Amino acid sequence: MEGLHRVSEYKWEIPRTAKSGMRVPGTVFADEELIALADRDRALEQVANVAFLPGIVFRSLAMPDIHWGYGFPIGGVAAFGPDGVVSPGGVGFDISCGVRLVKTALSEDDVRPGLEGLLAAMASNVPRGLGTRGRIHTDESVLRKVFAGGAKAVLDMGYGRDGDVEHAERLGSYEGADPDKVSRRAYERGADQLGTLGSGNHFLEVQVVEEVLLEGAARDFGLFEGQVTVMIHSGSRGLGHQVCTDYLQVMDRVVKKAGLELPDRQLACAGLGSREADDYLAAMACACNYAVGNRQALMHWTRRSFEQHFSSPERALGMELLFDVSHNVARFETHDVEGRRTEVCVHRKGATASFPAGHPEVPEAYRGTGQPVIIPGDMGTHSYVLVGSSEAMAESFGSTCHGAGRTMSRSRARKTIRGSELRQRLASQGIVVMAGKDSLLAEEAPEAYKDVSRVVDVCEGAGLSRKVARLRPMGVLKG
């Protein structure tokens, strides 16, 4: 990328002069290896392209797991002031894709002997795979309740227990949702998919806390070495994809009518406060609530699986929600911009909020510690729990990475990696995998991703979040 230069050990700048029309500079948090991968992937060009959007403030930002995406890079963060825009490409197709981490009181010794049986119970209870319909019938009236209420609505349906929503971003419900702004086709695609895992990089993973790295925060989060946890990674399924598709078409017409010149039509957008922007944000909030509700239902089936396998109530097994966090979202937040407290629309696409202790958006249970940040790795490597930092508020609108980030396309992974051999290799490492087709398993091979430990080290080195605990995979359930 022309003009790219290093500002500090983990921070690089793309100057406004890199491309004529940039309104702000770009900043990428990376080390030498990760910046080279981003440059090779042409994702740095996307960072520069985002800087063309009207009303962008401060900088166009990218996390160390950056890679090429639709419009915005995955790992991209940008905030827009009152005269700015909202862009569906800055949220992505899998709206509110995210993770939730469930704690248990079990140790690895409790789980390891019967691990395959536990995974089999989970596979029996959790619908998974592309286009799969779930166990919860959701006619239009039910969908409207979930669109408006999120995890709370799913809890009211009997899937979970009191207290679950207190450990989720925004208490498991995004404001501003309007079910009337969701298309008929999106309703059709969302029908009966609530409580389903999906395919691709979505998973349920039984893990063990291998090492505590920040004792005070780990204690406040209820984590200890040797503890078994379950990570749930899923999103808004076909519904969110359709919402994005619908409003990209709307935004494309807005851009053409306004004569707005953009370096990439995938950055189609509408001005904040316009009818088109308001409609998208209302539909997006519905998809967010559906995604959080989906993970709430998945946690319910996970708890039932543990109950069946251990012949014990899930409460006795200590199955408490640590946190639920979304990766793909645009939302209004208040930040310091050029010395003034300003409400901005923050787009995080493949990025996680990383708010510090005392921040009003951190759930009360963690207000004195900071927001838990949950970073999944891949099937063969570690995942991490981190905690938000005050430095992130100044550097990245309170944002950090969301995972390892791909280095290899799914099609290339299928061509170069044999799923059956991957399954055997993981088994030799003590990792049991239950998945559908071996070709789909190959898409998510560890070598298709960056080194998550390197990515997390950069985030900590740049001050965006601090490592609390490292989690090792034991068993993985995929679509």
> CA 328 → CA 10, 21, 220, distances in Å?
24, 26, 27
Computed on alpha carbons and rounded to an integer, the radius of gyration of the chain in Å comes to 21
Tokens at 392, concatenated: 């992130």
Instruction: Judge contact between 152 and 165, C-beta under 8 A.
Output: yes
| Widest distance between CA atoms in the chain | 65
Spatial neighbors of 165 by CB under 8 A, at least 6 apart, are 151, 152, 155, 171, 172, 173, 296
- In the chain, count H helices and then E strands: 15, 19
Scanning the structure block, which residue is given the tokens 């009207």? 54
Q: Which residues pair with 207 in a beta bridge?
A: 229, 473
Q: Is 382 a catalytic residue?
A: no
Burial of 322 (0-12, 13-18, 19+ CB in 10 A): buried
Closest CA to 290 of 235, 231, 233, 353: 235
Residue 329 phi, psi (nearest 5): -165, 155
Closest CA to 292 of 192, 173, 393, 114: 173
Q: Which residues pair with 212 in a beta bridge?
A: 469
Q: Show the DSSP H helices in 56-127 as ranges.
A: 108-111, 115-125
Scanning the structure block, which residue is given the tokens 């992974």? 413
> CA 316 → CA 106, 111, 301, distances in Å?
10, 15, 16
List 241, 300, 327, 402, catalytic entry: 402
Active site residues: 402
